[in-house]
Structure 1
Amino acid sequence: MYPDPDTSGYRIWRGTSPGNYTAYYEVPADWSGVLLGGLSIGTRYYFVVTSINNNNVNGSHSGELSFIAEQGPAPPTSFSGFVGLRSGEVTLSWVLSTDADTVGYRIWRGTSPGSYDVYYDNIPADWEGAIIGNLATGTAYYFEVTAINSSGVNGYHSNELVLVPQQGPSPPTGVTGYPGPEITEVTLRWNYSTDPNTTGYRIWRGASPGNYNVYYNTVPPEYSGAYLGSLSPGTTYYFVVTSVNSSEVNGANSNEVAVDPGSPPEPPTGMSASEGPGSGTVTVSWVLSGSPYIDYYKLYQGTSPGNYSTTYNNIPAEWNTGMPVSGLTDGVTYYFAMTAVNTGGVESGYSNETFAMPVAVGDSEPPADPANLTISDPGTGAELDLSWNVSSDNAGVSHYLIYRLTNNSSVSEYNYDSGFPVYTSATGYIDYGLSETNTYYYRVLAVDTSDNRSGLSNLAWDSPDDKHSTFCSNKCRHCCRRCSSRSMVECAGYKY
């Protein structure tokens, strides 16, 4: 029904018996209700409403209502509060009403003392406080709280409280989160807030996006991350971070991150494999996982794609420069994949699969360098006797190469006299036709059956000395060069 255009206000009539009204209240035309006080507790009152025109003439009565004025419960006590936790918020607290009729609380709000134009209803009876938001920062608000009974009737008001909501500092940026380091933990990281009013950070947590029912103690301003524990693996948690000022007022939320502490790390990538370095061996390489807290890697091996019968555990977390896998059968194709395991024991999925075939190859291992090259002089003035220790080799030494130089330049495999190197399978050599006026320099290297060469031996040198020229004929000297002993040997009747 449309309002009567002649209506200039309303008159509320009140009485204590049906149809008999001894008092009335006048209210403006744009009001659609009113609170009436000053009534006697336990008395039934009867009410009707009339419209009035500019001549103060009432129209017909509305339907009649009757109510018994009730006494509301005793108010809560020790009503107090502080600004925050967030921008434009205040936090209120109280001691519960002891009145047994209390079924909840009503918070009253206004912008001047004793005048409350807004109230917050349906606050449960077991709540000892509430956060009031969407307030204008910098504005003084006045609050009282009342207890209400099952009829919604308020008791007396509590003490009045005045608070001025603040604007919190700007949030940190770039919040990221990931599982670990333990299976029940999550790590958060962020960039510092640039707001000079920031005195710390507060982390908020919830079980669904945008709803945060837990927050952690303030993190100091010099921190750019935190470890959060006692979480359940397999549960996704949602986090935001706010900056707080010296009054512990939070600013706006950061970006939200969702983390399951039990979620697996990223697998390694870029798996590759190649044959060698020897028979029955392939070498695998990979790019490290991009996740933090990697404890080790696991390599899976099989002889058909996607089927792995062998596992290599505890490959170091920092190792990706090539891992030889030996003990394989030449000519068989092997397939490999790898996973990462974090410090919480959670294993990633497989990397890409790679494959390689080991092939038989010749011996590539060189012999040991000949050692202890020494020279003895038989005293003929024309020869020197060389000897050295046997070189070891995995497949066996085939022969030795002797290098000689008649100047004091360094003897090498590429710098030697004409006619050298000389081959021998023994560990000694007699160099004939020498001159007493020269010094001869020697080195030796070993060659195995696959033509792998050792390094050069130590350098040895000497000059032949003719100790026998006054005693022996040339024929005798020739004979004595072939004697097994070089000292005090009888030859053609001469002793020398």
Structure 2
Amino acid sequence: AYTDLDAPVDIPAAYKVRALDTAGNASAYSSPVWATRDTVAPLAPNNLEAVSQDDTGVTLGWSGSNPDTVRYSVHRASSSAGPRIPLGTTTTWNYRDTTGDPGQRYVYYVTAVDAAGNESTSAQVTAARSVGPNAAPKAPSVGLARIVGDHLTLWWDQGGYVPVSGYTVYRSRSATVDTTDPANVYATTTAKSLERTVAADERDYHYAVVAHSAYGVRSPASASVLPTVSAPQPPPSTTVYEAEATATQVHLVWAAVPIGPGDPEITEYRVYVSTQPGVTKANAENVYTTPATDMWVGTPEFGRPYYFTVSVVNAAGLESELSPEVSATPGT
């Protein structure tokens, strides 16, 4: 066998072969054969379509292109702008993909390839494996796992297109939670989160989550996670952005404090008041509480400046640092 890498491009050339023995004696030449170095790609497949889309896969069909096509190459992408993933090749005019996620619409690309390896432009079609009763949800992805004080918080995301009716949370002291063992079942929920109170000797458990479809089909398990452990922290402080005085009152307005997933709810705000600057929790002359983010504070002395600062209190009873001090003078 011999490969001629210097053959002229797209021009027919004749080849003949003779044999030599160890003494250098040559045989007669073979009859010549003609060949052409091919750099012309076939045409793209014709009439590409999704012949069937059922709950076990997608079947593609098309008609041939050039007579010199020896195989077809099939790729798939999650969108027209997404990367193309090779699925396989076929010598027939059809291909079945059983690996797509149920409900996910894919763009399928099919190209024709000739014996010289020249590949055509692609034909494309959009199709999706349907969601049937045997379709399994995708594995949940746990994004938050922490224990603050004695409060466990797990949050997870659920991708895919298979409807989920609920989740089972498993736990064990093993780094990889066995979600096939009923003894490891910790909780069930329809939410994508779980909050529980845990004892001090339960902080070394690992957790994993399994989703269930409406037909009871289980997803693969999420990755097993070990929650981070920390002491409870006070909420962040706020800022007073309005202090408007009337003759006998001052209207204070401050910013609501956001909380993160699993953080204790904000239950109240404390307003510290003094007739002297430098208000602290210890030297305030009056302290008021409210669940709102504004308050009217009575100021009985007309024309005298009053000084205010606000703190934030959460459901764990923890209080934030004081806000920057503001002042207002009634009657001015």
TM superposition score category, shorter chain reference: 0.3 to 0.5
**TM-score scaled by structure 2?**
0.41
Higher RCO (CA-CA < 8 Å; seq separation 6+): 2
Q: As a proportion of its length, which structure holds more strand?
A: 2
**TM-score scaled by structure 1?**
0.29
